[in-house]
Amino acid sequence: MVPVPYRDILTALRRLWWLPLLTLFLGGLAGYAFSAASTPLYTSSMQLFVSTTEARTATDFVQGSQFSQERVASYAQLLMGEELASRVNENLGLDMEPAVLAGKITATPVPSTVLIDVEVTDTSGSRARDIAGQLGSDFIEMVRVLETTPGASAPVRVTVVEGPSFHTAPSFPNTRRNIALGMALGLPLGLGLVVARTRLDRSVRDPETVGDLAGAPVIGMIMQDPVLDKQHVFDRTSTSPAAEGYRRLTTNLQFIDVDEPPRTIMISSAIPGEGKTTLTLNLAIALAEAGRQVAVVEADLRRPRVTRYLGMVSGVGLTNVLAGTAELNEVLQDYGDGSLSILAAGPLPPNPSQLLSSTQMKSLMEELATKNDFVLVDAPPVLPVADATSLAVFTDGVLLSVRYGFTRKDLVRRTAAALEQVGAKTLGVVLNVVPPRAEVSSGYGYRYDPGSTARAARHRWRRERTGTAPE
């Protein structure tokens, strides 16, 4: 099993710091719940001393001590036997089976001594004390009878030297100990889950890893923005981190190859749901904002989204031009001030791959390139269908949208291999939908305070309404 690098574990801990805390809390809660659900048990303890009755000389004392130590182990077994339990049960008038009562008694010889520690555990503290007291009395009598021989006194005497004790607090469960034990088990469990999740997580989170897998640099990082989730395009006056990310991407894109900058760019992803269409539209808006003439081609002929996101007509477009039923200038739609034009998908055909790989498509791309500074093609995902790889050869390069924490590493590798197989050039990778609190955002200067952004928006609204600057 390949070990997880410490750097990845530390990164995961910063991202999943709440998981060990959660298991720590749940462990303590489980310990408390166990204590609350357990029946309280009370323990009464006492100590018995075993001695010989006939000892006059030092030798007698030594021999008597050895004799008593030999008896102690046997006496401990008698204390936990059913015979003695039956006597205690009868004398106390308990309605309890002797075996059950015997199970409540624990007798332990103290090593190298003539002492026996006895504990009685019961659901009632006072009953445990009564059982222990009666147990001592009945055991003393039992020993006297067992050790007495005809015509002689018993050579051994048992004396209760301590107890029986009485405790108002239960000996079981120990709530504090159980809570501490639960927390002690919960914390490493949470840490283990973090490590396991790190080991099992195959999604892309690191720009360097993405670049290595795709064989192209990460040229942009787009922050997650709830406005884009709903509207899909940012306002040209927006200063949100996502909008600034698209503007930075515009600058980086123009400097990919200074001698021969790419003009026709296919934008795609490994699988659906990685934000490629949103990336296409907002990159086009940012380029138009920078004074460039841009055309967007809705070439995803299976699940077109461009016109729907922009609220434009989708009835005629690319497929009509490729089929020869319409001219390009008849189906182009302007968006905004005219520096951005949209070529909708048109009617969805039964053979998208054949249309996108046709000579008509190649001619169309060349025509659009002569009339625009940039042509952005919103293509289908690379892996599910062959449409994107067929279309990629007609463009100057491919821009891959990779969604942070969503796209798997193996999918990025397979996408790069598929593009390389047809000779397409991967211009770069855009790490998309990056959470504002992600570790990588700080390294790229994207981390921001959502509260400050909200306050800035309120200040702008106040200025527009009152015409005054905020304090």
Is the pTM of the predicted complex or chain greater than 0.75? Answer: no
pLDDT at 205: 81
pLDDT at 460 over 60: no
Q: In terms of pLDDT, which residue wins out, 455 or 150?
A: 150
Please give the helix or strand (H or E) that residue 122 lies within, else none: strand 115-122
State mean pLDDT over 421-447.
77
pLDDT at 385 over 80: yes
pLDDT at 451 over 50: no
The DSSP symbol for 39 reads P
Residue range(s) occupied by CATH 3.40.50.300 in the chain: 207-447
Q: Provide the pLDDT confidence category of residue 12 given band limits of 50, 70 and 90.
A: confident
Contacts of 27 (CB under 8 A, 6+ apart): 182, 183, 184, 185, 186, 187, 189
Average pLDDT score, the chain:
86
Q: Express each pLDDT in 407-418 by its tens digit.
A: 999 999 999 999
pLDDT at 442: 58
Q: Express each pLDDT in 55-75 by its tens digit.
A: 555 455 555 567 777 889 899
pLDDT at 112: 86
State mean pLDDT over 318-336.
92
The DSSP symbol for 1 reads -
State mean pLDDT over 333-346.
91
CA distance 332 to 307: 12
pLDDT at 470: 39
Q: In terms of pLDDT, which residue wins out, 299 or 199?
A: 299
State mean pLDDT over 323-350.
91
Contacts of 392 (CB under 8 A, 6+ apart): 266, 268, 379, 398, 419, 422, 424
Cβ-contact 331, 317 below 8 angstroms: yes
Token duo for residue 208: 């360097």
CA distance 3 to 331: 57
CA distance 283 to 456: 24
According to CATH, the topology of domain 42-162 is: Alpha-Beta Plaits (3.30.70)
What architecture (CATH level 2) is domain 207-447? 3-Layer(aba) Sandwich (3.40)
Residue range(s) occupied by CATH 3.30.70.1130 in the chain: 42-162
pLDDT at 3: 53
* Residue 365 phi, psi dihedral angles, 5° rounding: -65, -40
